[in-house]
Amino acid sequence: MAFAVKNLSASYGDTRVLWDVSLEVGEGEVVALIGSNGAGKSTLLGAISGLVHIDAGSVQYGGRELAHQAPDQIVRAGVVQVPQGRRLFGSLTVRENLLMGAYLRDDKEVKADLERALELLPRLRERFEFLAGRLSGGEQQQVAIARALMARPKVLLIDEMSLGLAPVLVDQLLVIMEQIHKSGVTILMVEQDVQTALEFAQRAYVLETGRIILSGPSASLLNDPSVKKAYLGV
């Protein structure tokens, strides 16, 4: 089933940030949302997640309208965000942070899902009882990803995964994201590292000053002269 944003406009108070944004992510796809700093990428993910006020338009998934729903209802629908800057509970342990990802669940599979997350991210097993606030940036990003997985996402929204991380750590995280994708999770990723985003995603949208200005297969956008000039320094 497709995840779709249609004609969405959003604001912070009286300040309009997004205008008439539409995009679609097919089931099982990896789609990137790229653009310069301040283009509105994180705002769009916030609007999808119920954290930013939507002025107009819709967010649809699984036959449900998610616009104007509370964040917990959006998570229950299977749309889960890995936020920019990790936003962990620094005074809680890795274990406690991961269990927070399952706070809406009352099924009997939480323990099994926790074990699967630790198998995918074995470094977290070593850090299981460490305070999250004392981990390295790369380790914290792994905790943020694992916490999102504990909510059993069908659509995973990833906001600036590479922010502040060394290239070798980003490469390691991309391997993990590929495994998550292969498990059947649909991915919409916001990424300021345009080269990385376009090499990982199948399709991409370009957002500038709150509007979608370009979209297409990632390979085509990598070779697009305007994308090369604006984002790749070519």
> CATH number of the domain that 205 lies in?
3.40.50.300
Beta bridge partners, 18, equal: 10
Is residue 83 one of the residues assigned to a domain?
Answer: no
137 and 170 both lie in a single domain: no
CA–CA separation, 160 and 146 (whole Å): 16
94 and 203 both lie in a single domain: no
CA–CA separation, 222 and 219 (whole Å): 5
160 and 227 both lie in a single domain: yes
Residue 184 · residue 29 · CB < 8 Å:
no
Is residue 63 one of the residues assigned to a domain?
Answer: yes
Beta strand spans in the chain (E)? 3-12, 15-25, 30-34, 54-61, 64-65, 79-82, 155-159, 186-190, 203-208, 211-217
Least Cα distance to 30 among 165, 196, 178 occurs for: 178
The structural domain count of the chain equals 2
pTM over 0.75: yes
Q: Identify the domain boundary among 130, 152, 174.
A: 152
23 and 134 both lie in a single domain: no
Amino acid 57: pLDDT: 98
Amino acid 165: pLDDT: 84
The two structure tokens encoding residue 24? 């679609």
162 and 220 both lie in a single domain: yes
Half-sphere exposure for 159 (CA within 13 Å, toward CB)? 21
70 and 174 both lie in a single domain: yes
131 and 170 both lie in a single domain: no
Amino acid 1: pLDDT: 63
22 and 71 both lie in a single domain: yes
Q: Identify the domain boundary among 152, 172, 199.
A: 152
183 and 68 both lie in a single domain: yes
Residue 4 · residue 63 · CB < 8 Å:
no
Amino acid 193: pLDDT: 87
Q: Identify the domain boundary among 98, 131, 152.
A: 152
Q: Which residue is listed with tokens 């977290």?
A: 124
Least Cα distance to 30 among 182, 232, 164 occurs for: 182
For 156-222, give the secondary structure using H, E and C: EEEECCCCCCCHHHHHHHHHHHHHHHHCCCEEEEECCCHHHHHHHCCEEEEEECCEEEEEEEHHHHH
Amino acid 52: pLDDT: 95
18 and 133 both lie in a single domain: no
59 and 94 both lie in a single domain: no
126 and 163 both lie in a single domain: no
For the chain of 234 residues, list the mean pLDDT of each consecutive stretch of 10.
93 93 97 93 96 96 94 96 88 95 90 95 95 93 95 96 88 94 96 91 96 96 90 72
Which residue range(s) make up the domain with 221? 3-78+153-231
